[in-house]
Amino acid sequence: MCLEMSEDVNNGDLKQVMIKNKDGIVVANKDEYDNCVALLSKDISKMGLLLRKMDSVFQ
């Protein structure tokens, strides 16, 4: 899994990374200019709303 992800990063094809553990979740998005925005939340139930807002930033 890590090999494929690193290949996507090198190719520039990776647009979003999501990391989840017992303490919460981190989501990072990248645009075509390599700008990055990351969200951190302990409340996973609010991630849908946060992801929707993040998508509006990148449009």
Give the range of the structural domain holding residue 35, as residue numbers without chain letter. 2-57
Total domain count for the chain? 1
The tokens describing 27, both together, are 């989501």
Looking at the DSSP bridge assignments, the partners of residue 41 are 25
In this prediction, residue 6 carries a pLDDT of 67
In this prediction, residue 54 carries a pLDDT of 84
In this prediction, residue 1 carries a pLDDT of 58
In this prediction, residue 21 carries a pLDDT of 87
Note the pLDDT tens digit of each residue in 3-59: 776 676 677 677 888 888 888 888 888 888 878 888 888 988 888 888 888 888 777
Longest dimension (CA), the chain: 32
pTM: 0.69
